[in-house]
């Protein structure tokens, strides 16, 4: 039985982690902590958990952290940018596993983080100690006994899985990748803001972070560099991409449509075969033919990723549609998959649940 | 008073045309005809029109067509692919104006149409007689006394207006344009299909026509060619683009995000100035700065188009977001604007109505 | 030309008032004031108004109020409970018309207000001076030259119009009325609260104010008493009703389903005839037969009310479905109708606009 | 291991049954049959099942039925009104359990069925052999070895569970019950109809079957009679209720608001205590206090029912809000619960899964 705790208790990602863990047969929750709602029950924040947990939210202080370090095998961290290292340090110092679902330790080169996140990094060493892991891509290099895991961003997960097979094939022309991404509103967090009200957002659609300024851009570029075998400490050698996000009038789900110029021709059927073969041992990746573009609801509430690759011979462009649940495979689900990986369990343990459809 | 009739009565575009015409002070409806629902009242199909019209839907036969040709000044045609010419011929032969909201006569070169629409064109001469018109772009060449007008497609309208200023500047690198488009479900018509049910479509998102196969692709390429002064009868001289549509879980609204490599650098501010200046005399086009990406609900139920142009200096790409209401500026609204243009009225007549927000 | 101003500028009702006024041919906006967003443009808060107004929001202070009293013929007031009188007093003292869209002066007997709104009434005299007006019901008593008008609540408007014909017939058994009401989220205002986020509210439905505690209950009871000719200063003589509201996962629209035991039998056809005849001169009320229950989208963005009356002979109950747009006929639209009434214009002036459907 | 088959394969209830069964540790699917989509895979109709089943849909003929009767322990039936008996007869004749999710055998007195469903009953004997079962209410009379089970309707389940404690208390005044019900669109089935399109239904709300004509009315009346110990063969002794359904712009979920005049006074707290105590051993029923009205999304995808009881002392009316997932506890989930009951498993087996929220 793996004992786990959660730093962060009231947001959507924490709630989804606790919800998905209900189906995991080999875990047990110790503590949840947050900076507010302290003393209330988990189910007061998360009505989906009524009847499933009966714990109170603890203050996010030294005492709680000590209890977690003492009793838990793994601690999941969902915290604001720049605040992770204070928790992660202590957890790994106690010999426990820390899985950070935030962005603090996602870049090998802290300068990339500092540039895009606009802060001085509080603990560069921690970032070197971390292992960033989309299991389907990075698992082969997963260090035995790794204590600190950086859980990838939602958009980078969907984008990287959509690009991975063709990058490995080596037939994408440098600097031609454009990723047009769309996300449900859980991706924007649970803090009440005007633009997130149903009255503003429903039956509506818009871009945001227009013009190449979204922070997930360099994370995808780093993943591409990794797949291409480039030096992650030399971002000047990476290729540039455009990543442009939009907000969908729906709760969950990310779709990315990836465009890239190819140096080789394929038929749609060949691409389907190639992707299917490439991912044939990956239980969380489903590949579909050109006639069946994936829908975000096909993966809702799960750790699955559905991908349809196509090719336009007129323009010599690869066009791939890749979907995940932003708080499933894009956050909580992948964190569980990484936990399974770190603890030597089958990666699918507790994660072979059906999506909610319709 | 302009007397008008409508071929097509029960679909979303016909309903929106009749709805928008209520606000037009100088038109009067003569006849509406369709191939079914004959003998029922307009408001039985369109509850938004209860209290505004009291006409019956007539059979779409020779007799009705004769009455239209006799009494109406203009006839709007919404009909399936390949069926338009039979109506349009008679209307213009009677000296009346025909505005075709379908795709039959949108291409100067019928071979382009035949290739993408997979049919033999029933009447190539008609297509030569037609004038395709997004007023903001083509009005300068609008022939005096023009009787046959081809109303543009929804996606091409949003895309062309987003590209127009930069194409005129001449700084877009050939064959680098990628258009990622998203549309509400009215764009898929009113015929009951499984995938259009609320239970399937709500809280869901997907691509369709994946891989560069959507029929609006060559229409946008023709518009680009027109703006660039190329020969519309020589499609082999046009540049290729990628146009990829998606379905939004909402009723109305199109957003297109346009990507194109530039041969010149701009700041976001310069682009905003350039677009604002370019469109300053266009009452239906609103330009916004980088910080304010347009939302589809900003134009709902109207003939407006809202555009935000940006530039990513890292990748040297223009990134433009352009939104319209697919059955407003994308169909019925633009048809009314074209009618105003054809009859010498101010183009804004009857069209300066507010969008429905929230 | 009627000059008007608005106290309250940034909320949904103020925005809808300004939006609907665009279609009114005989009004001109002078000033809008609020307690925040001061100095910003109206269209910064209301994207639907881009291109229609170019005014700044003024501070809600004595100076602004003085300008309104000096220049405007009518001032619309949207303000928190208990704050209206301070504005209304000055406006009517200046001889201008004040239309209060809030609840402060809706009860003839201030004790009813004080009990349900939990405050001491700041100005009982003002409440006696006010005329509460659903035009279809109260217009016959509208005092010539009336300066202070209390605009009814959204739920009471839909409920009262649904009950009115049968109450006039005198065949509803006392104390048997149950009203089950459902409203879109604009009814809950524009303040960002957790429960109003799309992520919480979409694809979701719930009751609120469960158990007979909603403040619109006595307003409906007062209207019933008025129709039945009872003394509005003697609430102890009124009959009791149950009014139970719910929140719909949609932006606009109210539906109320009214249940009442009858002392006389009707067929559905007789009820349809009776309601149709009763409302035949009311341009804003549409009556439908049993087979066609009204939909909230049939009235979206308008001042219309659609009603279907039915009768269940087994249980001897009247069952009526009545729909309005909560911020149209339920607020801004009715305020305009009341303005038209006060200024001697046809009540339909500027209000015969089509709903947005689909 | 319980072997099961399903008559009906492509609709929402069949899909949900197959989906929920994935979490059941002691069942195995044998066959699925339908009248169309024959030869296609289950996951072609139900994308949520990709990776979970790999069976083909078989023709719904004698041969398939024979295989089911031979190999399966239980067969679930989802079939049109009037068609169930032909399947059910053979299954129980083969000594296997049949669980009918339709309405054919829900009434002890076939005359009630014939009157409300407008057909001659094909097999009255079958209806006498069936045991109708909402486990929380009827389990105490569940006959040992019962082979034919009638699974209750969605609305009757939510309504009966909401009324049950007070009916047992005996303090509801006869003939005063009014049930105002709201359902998501999965309740209307998967057949493509115009009114179910997202474009028609989204952001919209309406009543249907207006005026006391919905077929679930007598089913609820029969349940009330059962709880009150009345003779189910004497419908003339039952009390009358009003049941009025509406359609919500959402996928799943039913909320019923129940109104009934009481012969005794309660405080809200007393009611909460009473309901909590009453249902304290029911794992699928959650009771909430007046301040927390249940939301349909709290039970999405599950077999749970959430209930908030309140009392209005002014009107002496009980007001209860009760929510279920119409295809969960309202269909597939309850069918699984009944299967567990019939096979002697804990009723919760495979059913303690979390709802999808947000």
Chain A residue with Cα closest to C191: A194
A181 CB neighbours in chain B (<8 A) are none
Cβ contact B259–A253 (<8 Å):
no
- A69 is annotated as an active-site residue: no
User: What chains are in contact with C, requiring at least 3 Cβ pairs below 8 Å?
Assistant: A, B, D
How do the pLDDT tens digits run along chain D, 358 residues long?
999 999 999 999 999 999 999 999 999 999 999 999 999 999 999 999 999 999 999 999 999 999 999 999 999 999 988 889 899 999 999 999 999 999 999 999 999 999 999 999 999 999 999 999 999 999 999 999 999 999 999 999 999 999 999 999 999 999 999 999 999 999 999 999 999 999 999 999 999 999 999 999 999 999 999 999 999 999 999 999 999 999 999 999 999 999 999 999 999 999 999 999 999 999 999 999 999 999 999 999 999 999 999 999 999 999 999 999 999 999 999 999 999 999 999 999 999 999 999 9
Pairing mode, strands D254-261 and D178-183: antiparallel
Identify from D47, D323, D331 which residue to disrupt to test chain A contact, counting A C-beta atoms within 10 A and taking the largest count.
D47
Burial of B179 (0-12, 13-18, 19+ CB in 10 A): buried
Of A49, A295, A354, nearest to D354 by CB-CB distance is: A49
In three-state secondary structure terms, C15 is: helix
Residues of C contacting chain B (CB within 8 angstroms): 12, 15, 19, 22-23, 46-52, 186, 202-203, 251-252, 283, 286, 295, 297-298, 300-301, 304, 306, 352-358
CA–CA separation, B327 and B254 (whole Å)? 9
CA–CA separation, C109 and C232 (whole Å)? 7
Helices (H) and strands (E) in chain D, counts: 12, 14
User: Catalytic amino acids of D?
Assistant: 154
Region label for D227, one of left (φ > 0), alpha (ψ between -120 and 50) or beta (otherwise): alpha
pLDDT of D6: 98
Cβ contact B192–D194 (<8 Å):
yes
pLDDT in tens, B265-315: 999 999 999 999 999 999 999 999 999 999 999 999 999 999 999 999 999
pLDDT of B11: 97
Q: Please provide the DSSP assignment of D103-160 as one string.
A: STT--SSHHHHHHHH-S--S-HHHHHH-EE--HHHHGGGPPTT--EEEPPPHHHHHHH
Of C241, C257, C297, nearest to D244 by CB-CB distance is: C257
In this prediction the ipTM stands at 0.97
Size of interface A-B (CB pairs under 8 A): 162
Cβ contact A207–B175 (<8 Å):
no
Whether the pLDDT of residue B153 is over 90: the answer is: yes
List the end-to-end C-alpha distance of chain C, in Å, as a whole number.
34
Q: Which of C69, C154, C171, C206 is catalytic?
A: C154
A250 CB neighbours in chain B (<8 A) are 202-205, 249
Cβ contact C192–A192 (<8 Å):
yes
Least Cα separation, residue D225 to chain A (angstroms): 32
User: What chains are in contact with A, requiring at least 3 Cβ pairs below 8 Å?
Assistant: B, C, D
Burial of C131 (0-12, 13-18, 19+ CB in 10 A): middle
Distances B202 to A174, D45, D187, D200 between C-alpha atoms, Å: 37, 17, 15, 12
A198 CB neighbours in chain C (<8 A) are 185, 196-198, 201-202, 249, 251
Chain A residue with Cα closest to C46: A200
Distances B67 to B5, B8, B250 between C-alpha atoms, Å: 10, 15, 38
Identify from B12, B44, B48 which residue to disrupt to test chain C contact, counting C C-beta atoms within 10 A and taking the largest count.
B48
Least Cα separation, residue B111 to chain A (angstroms): 17
C186 CB neighbours in chain B (<8 A) are 358
- The pLDDT of B230-239, averaged and rounded, is 97
pLDDT of C81: 86
Identify from C187, C195, C198 which residue to disrupt to test chain A contact, counting A C-beta atoms within 10 A and taking the largest count.
C198
pLDDT of A351: 98
CA–CA separation, B304 and D189 (whole Å)? 38
Cβ contact C212–D319 (<8 Å):
yes
Cβ contact C251–A190 (<8 Å):
no
Contact A232, A246 (CB under 8 A): no
pLDDT of D81: 86
Long-range contacts of C114-120 (CB under 8 A, 24+ apart): C115/C218, C116/C215, C116/C217, C116/C218, C117/C81, C117/C82, C117/C215, C119/C81, C119/C82
Whether the pLDDT of residue B85 is over 90: the answer is: no
- The pLDDT of C57-61, averaged and rounded, is 97
pLDDT in tens, C16-57: 999 999 999 999 999 999 999 999 999 999 999 999 999 999
pTM to 2 decimal places? 0.98
D15 CB neighbours in chain B (<8 A) are none
Identify from D197, D201, D206 which residue to disrupt to test chain B contact, counting B C-beta atoms within 10 A and taking the largest count.
D197
Determine what percent of chain B is predicted with pLDDT higher than 90.
98
Cβ contact A358–D12 (<8 Å):
yes
Cβ contact D356–A356 (<8 Å):
yes
How do the pLDDT tens digits run along chain A, 358 residues long?
999 999 999 999 999 999 999 999 999 999 999 999 999 999 999 999 999 999 999 999 999 999 999 999 999 999 988 889 899 999 999 999 999 999 999 999 999 999 999 999 999 999 999 999 999 999 999 999 999 999 999 999 999 999 999 999 999 999 999 999 999 999 999 999 999 999 999 999 999 999 999 999 999 999 999 999 999 999 999 999 999 999 999 999 999 999 999 999 999 999 999 999 999 999 999 999 999 999 999 999 999 999 999 999 999 999 999 999 999 999 999 999 999 999 999 999 999 999 999 9
What token pair was written down for B199?
Answer: 């239970």
pLDDT of D85: 86
pLDDT in tens, B195-206: 999 999 999 999
Least Cα separation, residue A4 to chain D (angstroms): 19
| CA nearest to A94, candidates A75, A121, A122 | A75
Least Cα separation, residue D22 to chain A (angstroms): 7
Q: CA D278, D279, D281: angle at the middle one, nearest 5?
A: 115
CA–CA separation, C266 and C165 (whole Å)? 13
What token pair was written down for B159?
Answer: 């895309």
Helix (H) or strand (E) holding A180: strand A178-183
Domains along chain D with CATH numbers: 2-152+329-342 (3.40.50.720), 155-326 (3.30.360.10)
Identify from D315, D324, D326, D327 which residue to disrupt to test chain C contact, counting C C-beta atoms within 10 A and taking the largest count.
D315
* The C317-324 sheet, strands edge to edge: C206-207, C242-247, C178-183, C254-261, C317-324, C305-312, C285-287
Least Cα separation, residue A50 to chain B (angstroms): 24
What token pair was written down for C294?
Answer: 């009204």
Of B19, B202, B295, nearest to C354 by CB-CB distance is: B19
Pairing mode, strands C305-312 and C317-324: antiparallel
Cβ contact D192–B197 (<8 Å):
yes
Size of interface A-C (CB pairs under 8 A): 56
pLDDT of A348: 98
pLDDT in tens, C151-179: 999 999 999 999 999 999 999 999 999 99
Pairing mode, strands B317-324 and B254-261: antiparallel
Cβ contacts of A302 within 8 Å, gap of 6 or more = A325, A328, A329, A333, A351, A353, A354, A355
CA–CA separation, B83 and B242 (whole Å)? 28
CA–CA separation, C169 and C167 (whole Å)? 5
What token pair was written down for B77?
Answer: 């045609």
User: What chains are in contact with B, requiring at least 3 Cβ pairs below 8 Å?
Assistant: A, C, D
Cβ contact D210–C290 (<8 Å):
yes
Q: Please provide the DSSP assignment of B100-133 as one string.
A: E-SSTT--SSHHHHHHHH-S--S-HHHHHH-EE-
């Amino acid at each position: 039985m793996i004992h786990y705790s959660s730093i962060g208790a009231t947001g959507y990602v924490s709630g989804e982690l606790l919800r998905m863990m209900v189906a995991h047969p080999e875990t047990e929750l110790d503590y949840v902590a947050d900076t507010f709602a302290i003393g209330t029950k988990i189910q007061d924040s998360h009505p989906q958990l009524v009847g499933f947990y009966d714990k109170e939210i603890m203050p996010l202080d030294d005492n709680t952290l000590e209890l977690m370090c003492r009793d838990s095998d793994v601690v999941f961290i969902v915290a604001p940018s720049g605040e992770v290292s204070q928790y992660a340090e202590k957890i790994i110092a106690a010999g426990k596993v820390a899985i950070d679902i935030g962005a603090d330790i996602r870049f090998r080169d802290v300068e990339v983080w500092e540039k895009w996140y606009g802060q001085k990094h509080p603990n560069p060493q921690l970032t070197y100690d971390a292992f960033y892991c989309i299991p389907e891509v990075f698992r082969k290099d997963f260090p035995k006994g790794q204590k600190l895991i950086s859980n990838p961003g939602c958009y980078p997960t969907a984008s990287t899985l959509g690009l991975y097979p063709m990058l490995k094939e080596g037939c994408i022309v440098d600097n031609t990748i454009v990723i047009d991404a769309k996300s449900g509103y859980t991706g924007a967090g649970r803090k009440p803001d005007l633009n997130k009200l149903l009255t503003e957002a429903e039956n509506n659609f818009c871009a945001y972070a227009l013009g190449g300024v979204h922070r997930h851009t360099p994370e995808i570029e780093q993943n591409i560099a990794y797949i291409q075998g480039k030096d992650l400490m030399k971002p000047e050698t990476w290729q540039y991409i455009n990543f442009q996000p939009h907000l969908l009038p729906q709760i969950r789900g990310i779709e990315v449509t990836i465009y890239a110029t190819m140096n080789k021709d394929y038929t749609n059927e060949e691409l389907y075969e190639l992707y299917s073969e490439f991912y044939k041992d990956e239980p969380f990746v489903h590949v579909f033919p050109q006639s069946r573009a994936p829908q975000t609801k096909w993966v809702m509430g799960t750790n699955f990723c559905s991908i349809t690759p196509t090719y336009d011979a007129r323009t010599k462009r690869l066009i791939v549609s890749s979907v995940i649940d932003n708080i499933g495979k894009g956050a909580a689900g992948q964190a569980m998959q990484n936990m399974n990986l770190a603890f030597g369990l089958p990666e699918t343990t507790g994660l072979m649940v059906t999506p909610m459809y319709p």
